[in-house]
């Protein structure tokens, strides 16, 4: 059984039963799952978790659905990698990378989708649907196939090819919409009213879906030996993941899994071409002004982020910061992470690393802090972004002479540019 006590509007506090509801009927505020933490605390323990599956489901007591056979491809329990070489480049001390590229469909979305579809199935839904910038599309199509559910996925028409192929291969319906992600999102919000029998994971099942992101915090704490980090850097698309990571650390203490109350600074990362939260942070404003996105970081290209305000509030209250980086810096960030730590991230990961570098240079992220950067998607999803920046050292004939010439040319070249 789960420990859910109900749903509660984050804006006006009205409460609802744990059904397929996502916004408050009164003020449209987002609904949040509430738990009976006393009961969770009486059940959960480090030993119980450590004896659980090597997936997000080891934390089932703090998830909004309980099922002995969840819709599961093995999401979660991804590596937390100590990143000393990257730390040295950035002038930081104890730096860790949460490598969520290792998820079944290559992004953190497997965490939220596994939770969402398990709950959707329990609620009686037969069709899984979503609006997506790509990663969610991949994950919904895959998990729906696994669960034997039909899927309907709507994406912007101009997504990276890998994300389109990775969605279509699973045999569900995929609609490429002539518009931006925000257009797709609005269409899905309207479709939800017309197709109430579909589980739109990030619309009518969103309340449950979003809870899956807490497992990032749970894993980081467990992998650090049941300690919270001092500072996490999280990319911002809708802003949901960032707020849920913060919630996750709090909950661990609430149910007795962390000895000390964590005080985790949470910083947000955006691309300059879509930075409504970073802009509000820089201006000291409480208003998130929607923007028309224009960035290579398409998985974060949400111009009107539904949880943007909550992300901003979380960042400010935690003593973190929010910054934005250029597309050129995003590409540098991808290459920096790959070159120093052997991890190939998609453009969103480049946003995170470039923002981390920027905040480290400013002294916001400090060398005396234990820092975790969330790398949320695999680089193979966005290879187009690097097409002009990386490639073979040389193309050569299959002869020793040709190889020697190319090596010599590269050595001369490398001396000019130590990169």
Partner 1 sequence: MIKVRIPAQLRTLTGGIGEVAIEGSTVGEVLKGLDAAHTGFGERIFDDDGGLRRFVNVFLDEEDVRFLDGLATPVTAGQTLSIVPAVAGG
Q: How far is CA 67 from CA 20, 117, 126, 142, in A?
A: 17, 11, 17, 19
Give the Cβ contact number of residue 139 at 10 Å.
32
CB of 28 to partner 1, least distance (A): 4
287-316: contacts with partner 1 (CB under 8 A): 289-290, 292, 299-300, 302, 304-307, 309
For the record, the structure tokens of 269 come out as: 């990362």
Convert 75-98 to b/e letters by CB count within 10 Å (16 or more is b): bbbbebbebeebbebbebebbbbb
Can residue 189 be called a binding residue for partner 1 (CB under 8 A)? yes
CB of 122 to partner 1, least distance (A): 21
CB of 299 to partner 1, least distance (A): 6
User: What angle do helix axes 240-254 and 214-223 make, rounded to 10 degrees?
Assistant: 50
Can residue 215 be called a binding residue for partner 1 (CB under 8 A)? no
CB of 139 to partner 1, least distance (A): 10
Give the Cβ contact number of residue 58 at 10 Å.
19
Contact range with partner 1 by CB under 8 A, out of 28-36, 49-57, 259-267, 355-363: 28-36
CB of 293 to partner 1, least distance (A): 12
Q: Which is nearer to partner 1, 215 or 304 (CB)?
A: 304
Locus of tokens 């913060």: 246
Can residue 99 be called a binding residue for partner 1 (CB under 8 A)? no
Can residue 270 be called a binding residue for partner 1 (CB under 8 A)? no
Is 184:190 a contact under the CB 8 Å cutoff?
no
CA 273 – CA 356 distance, rounded (Å): 17
Can residue 237 be called a binding residue for partner 1 (CB under 8 A)? yes
CB of 39 to partner 1, least distance (A): 30
Convert 177-214 to b/e letters by CB count within 10 Å (16 or more is b): beebbbbbbeebbebbeeeeebbbbbbbbbbbbbbbbb
CB of 408 to partner 1, least distance (A): 47
CB of 160 to partner 1, least distance (A): 14
Three-state SS string over 282-306 comes to HHCCCCCCCCCCCCCCHHHCCCCCC
CA atoms within 13 A on the CB side of 386: 21
Contact range with partner 1 by CB under 8 A, out of 24-32, 86-94, 220-228, 402-410: 24-32
Any residues with CB less than 8 A from the CB of 381 and at least 6 apart, and which?
106, 107, 134, 135, 138, 160, 162, 163, 166, 299, 346
CB of 145 to partner 1, least distance (A): 19
Using DSSP bridges, classify how beta strands 94-99 and 265-271 pair: parallel, antiparallel or unpaired.
unpaired
From residue 313 to residue 352, what is the string marking binding to partner 1 with x (rule CB under 8 A)? ----------------------------------------
For the record, the structure tokens of 103 come out as: 């998820």
Q: Which is nearer to partner 1, 18 or 116 (CB)?
A: 116
With contacts defined by CB under 8 A, how many residues of the chain interact with partner 1? 49
Q: Which is nearer to partner 1, 64 or 305 (CB)?
A: 305
Q: Which of 86, 95, 130, 233 binds partner 1 (CB under 8 A)?
A: 130
Q: Give the residue among 140, 137, 18, 170 at the shortest CA–CA distance from 71.
A: 140
Q: Which is nearer to partner 1, 10 or 366 (CB)?
A: 10
Can residue 186 be called a binding residue for partner 1 (CB under 8 A)? yes
Contact range with partner 1 by CB under 8 A, out of 32-40, 191-199, 276-284, 380-388: 191-199
Is 315:268 a contact under the CB 8 Å cutoff?
yes
Can residue 202 be called a binding residue for partner 1 (CB under 8 A)? yes
Answer positive or negative: Cα dihedral of 281, 282, 287, 290: negative
Dihedral of the alpha carbons of 323, 89, 215, 108, in degrees to the nearest 10: 80
Can residue 273 be called a binding residue for partner 1 (CB under 8 A)? no
Can residue 196 be called a binding residue for partner 1 (CB under 8 A)? yes
Q: Which of 19, 50, 158, 190 binds partner 1 (CB under 8 A)?
A: 190
**Footprint of partner 1 (CB under 8 A):** 11, 22-23, 25-30, 109, 130-133, 135-136, 179, 181-183, 185-186, 188-190, 192-194, 196, 201-203, 206, 237-241, 289-290, 292, 299-300, 302, 304-307, 309
């Amino acid at each position: 059984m789960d420990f859910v006590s109900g749903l509660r509007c984050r804006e006006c506090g009205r409460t609802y039963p744990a059904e397929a509801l996502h916004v408050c009927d009164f003020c449209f505020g987002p609904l949040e799952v509430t738990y009976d933490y006393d009961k969770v605390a009486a059940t959960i323990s480090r030993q119980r978790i450590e004896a659980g599956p090597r997936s997000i489901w080891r934390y089932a007591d703090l998830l909004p659905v309980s099922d002995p056979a969840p819709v599961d491809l093995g999401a979660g329990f991804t590596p937390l990698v100590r990143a000393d070489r990257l730390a040295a480049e950035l002038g930081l001390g104890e730096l860790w990378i949460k490598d969520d590229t290792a998820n079944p469909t290559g992004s953190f979305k497997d965490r939220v989708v596994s939770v969402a579809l398990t709950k959707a199935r329990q609620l009686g839904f037969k069709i899984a649907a979503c609006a997506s910038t790509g990663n969610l599309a991949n994950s919904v199509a895959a998990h729906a196939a696994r669960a034997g559910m039909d899927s309907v996925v709507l994406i912007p028409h101009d997504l990276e090819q890998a994300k389109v192929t990775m969605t279509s291969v699973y045999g569900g319906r995929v609609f490429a919409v002539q518009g931006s992600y925000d257009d797709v999102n609005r269409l899905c919000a309207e479709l939800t009213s017309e197709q109430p029998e579909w589980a739109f994971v990030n619309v009518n099942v969103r309340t449950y879906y979003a809870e899956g992101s807490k497992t990032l915090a749970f894993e980081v704490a467990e992998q650090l030996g049941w300690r919270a980090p001092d500072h996490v850097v999280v990319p911002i698309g809708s802003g949901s993941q960032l707020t849920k990571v913060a919630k996750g650390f709090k909950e661990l203490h609430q149910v007795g899994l962390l000895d000390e109350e964590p005080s985790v600074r949470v910083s947000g990362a955006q691309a300059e071409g879509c930075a409504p939260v970073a802009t509000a942070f820089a201006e000291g404003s409480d208003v998130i002004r929607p923007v028309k996105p224009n960035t290579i970081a398409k998985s974060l290209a949400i111009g009107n982020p539904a949880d943007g305000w909550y992300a901003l509030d979380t960042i400010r209250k935690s003593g973190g910061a929010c910054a934005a980086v250029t597309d050129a810096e995003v590409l540098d960030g991808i290459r920096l992470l790959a070159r120093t730590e052997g991890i190939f991230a998609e453009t969103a990961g480049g946003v995170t690393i470039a923002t981390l570098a920027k905040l480290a240079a400013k002294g916001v992220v400090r060398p005396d802090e234990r820092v975790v950067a969330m790398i949320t998607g695999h680089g193979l999803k966005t290879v187009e972004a690097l097409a002009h920046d990386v490639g073979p050292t040389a193309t050569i004939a299959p002869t020793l002479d040709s190889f020697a010439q190319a090596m010599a040319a590269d050595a001369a070249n490398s001396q000019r540019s130590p990169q």
